[in-house]
C-alpha cells in the first residue's frame, strides 16, 4: 500500500477553491465586490508568481469566517459546493483518485487552502485524510487564527512529516500530484512526483527532469481518464 497525495486547487479541481469562495461571497452580496475582487486577484497572481505571503492570504480569507454565524456559513458552504465546486470536478480527476483507491493505496489531500473551504471537497472525493491550513475555533466560532504550520511550499513537507509520524505511514512508493511550482519542495521529496496541467514554471522543470505530465482538466475534452499532456516548450 502506497501513499497517494493530491494537491487540490488546479489539480483535483479545475480551478482554485479559495478564489472561487471569495467570488461566491461577492456574488451573494456578502462581500463588497470592488474591494474584495481586487484583493482576491492580487493574492492569486502572487501565488502564481511564487511571491505570495501566505499569512496575507490567510488573513484575507478568514475575515468573513469570523464575522458570520456557523449556521450561515454552513448554508453558504453547501450552496458553494453545489454551484461552484461541482463544475470544477472532472471525470478524469475522479479517475485519478479512484485508480489509487482501487489499488488499496492510502489517499490524502494536501492543500494550501483552508480547511473550512476544503474539507467538504475532500469528503466529496471520499478522501478522509486532509492536510490543509487549519483554523482555530472557540466553541463553534472561528477566531481568525491559524493552528500549526500553514501547508504552503516547504510547510507542506513539515506538515506531512508530522502526519507521517502520527500515523505511521511512510513515503515508500509514494505519489504526489500537483500543478504548481509552489509544490516543488514536496514533489522532490516523494518517490513518484506527477505533474497535472502544470503552470509554466513547473512545466519547464518537469520536462527537464522527465516527470510524468498529465491532463486532467480539458486538453482532451470528454476524456474519462487522465491523459499524457505534451508540455509546450
Residue 222 lies in a domain: yes
Judge whether residue 190 has pLDDT over 60.
yes
* 3-class DSSP state of 109: strand
Judge whether residue 48 has pLDDT over 70.
yes
Q: Which of 9, 179, 183, 215 is catalytic?
A: 9
Phi, psi of 84 (to 5 degrees): -115, -40
Q: Report pLDDT for 228.
A: 74
- Give me the mean pLDDT over the 124-135 stretch: 97
Residue 233 lies in a domain: no
What percent of the chain lies above the pLDDT cut of 70? Answer: 94
Residue 158 lies in a domain: yes
Judge whether residue 86 has pLDDT over 50.
yes
Answer for the pair 37, 23: CB distance below 8 angstroms, yes or no. Answer: yes
Judge whether residue 187 has pLDDT over 90.
yes
Q: Report pLDDT for 61.
A: 84
Percent helix, strand and coil across the chain, each to the nearest 5: 50, 20, 30
Beta strands in the chain (DSSP E): 3-6, 106-114, 129-138, 141-147, 175-178, 192-196, 213-215, 227-228
Q: Is this prediction's pTM over 0.85?
A: yes
Q: Which of 7, 105, 179, 199 is catalytic?
A: 7
Q: Report pLDDT for 232.
A: 40
- Tell me the C-alpha distance between 70 and 67, whole Å: 10
Residue 216 lies in a domain: yes
Please give the residue range of the domain that contains residue 127: 3-228
Phi, psi of 225 (to 5 degrees): -130, 150
Residue 28 lies in a domain: yes
- Tell me the C-alpha distance between 140 and 104, whole Å: 35
The domain tally of the chain equals 1
- Going by pLDDT thresholds of 50, 70 and 90, the confidence category of residue 194 is very high
The contacts of residue 223 (CB under 8 Å, 6+ apart) are 91, 92, 215
Residue 138 lies in a domain: yes
Q: Report pLDDT for 219.
A: 56
Helices (H) and strands (E) in the chain — how many of each? 9, 8
Q: Report pLDDT for 231.
A: 42
Residue 96 lies in a domain: yes
Q: Beta partners for 146?
A: 135
Is 9 part of the annotated catalytic residue set? yes
**Cell numbers that stand for 69 in this block:** 454565524
Q: What is the mean pLDDT of the chain?
A: 92
Is 179 part of the annotated catalytic residue set? no
**Cell numbers that stand for 68 in this block:** 458570520
Residue 194 lies in a domain: yes
- Going by pLDDT thresholds of 50, 70 and 90, the confidence category of residue 229 is low
Q: Report pLDDT for 40.
A: 85
**What CATH number is associated with residue 19?**
3.40.50.1000
Amino acid at each position: 500500500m502506497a501513499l497517494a497525495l493530491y494537491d487540490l486547487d488546479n489539480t483535483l479541481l479545475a480551478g482554485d477553491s479559495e478564489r472561487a469562495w471569495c467570488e461566491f461571497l461577492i456574488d451573494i452580496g456578502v462581500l463588497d465586490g470592488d474591494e474584495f475582487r481586487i484583493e482576491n486577484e492580487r493574492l492569486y497572481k502572487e501565488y502564481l508568481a511564487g511571491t505570495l505571503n501566505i499569512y496575507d492570504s490567510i488573513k484575507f480569507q478568514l475575515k468573513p469566517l469570523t464575522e458570520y454565524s456557523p449556521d450561515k456559513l454552513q448554508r453558504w458552504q453547501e450552496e458553494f459546493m453545489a454551484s461552484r465546486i461541482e463544475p470544477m470536478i472532472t471525470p478524469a480527476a475522479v479517475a485519478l483518485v479512484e485508480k489509487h483507491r482501487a489499488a488499496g493505496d492510502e489517499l490524502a489531500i494536501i492543500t494550501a487552502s483552508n480547511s473550512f473551504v476544503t474539507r467538504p471537497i475532500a469528503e466529496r472525493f471520499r478522501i478522509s485524510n486532509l492536510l490543509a491550513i487549519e483554523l482555530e475555533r472557540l466553541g463553534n466560532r472561528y477566531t481568525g487564527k491559524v493552528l500549526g504550520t500553514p501547508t504552503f511550499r516547504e510547510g507542506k513537507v513539515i506538515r506531512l512529516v508530522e502526519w507521517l509520524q502520527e500515523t505511521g505511514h511512510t513515503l515508500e512508493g509514494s505519489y504526489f500530484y500537483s500543478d504548481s511550482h509552489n509544490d516543488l519542495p514536496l514533489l522532490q521529496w516523494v518517490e513518484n512526483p506527477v505533474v497535472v496541467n502544470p503552470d509554466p514554471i513547473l512545466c519547464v522543470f518537469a520536462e527537464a527532469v522527465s516527470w510524468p505530465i498529465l491532463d486532467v482538466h480539458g486538453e482532451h475534452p470528454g476524456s474519462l481518464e487522465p491523459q499524457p499532456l505534451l508540455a509546450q516548450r
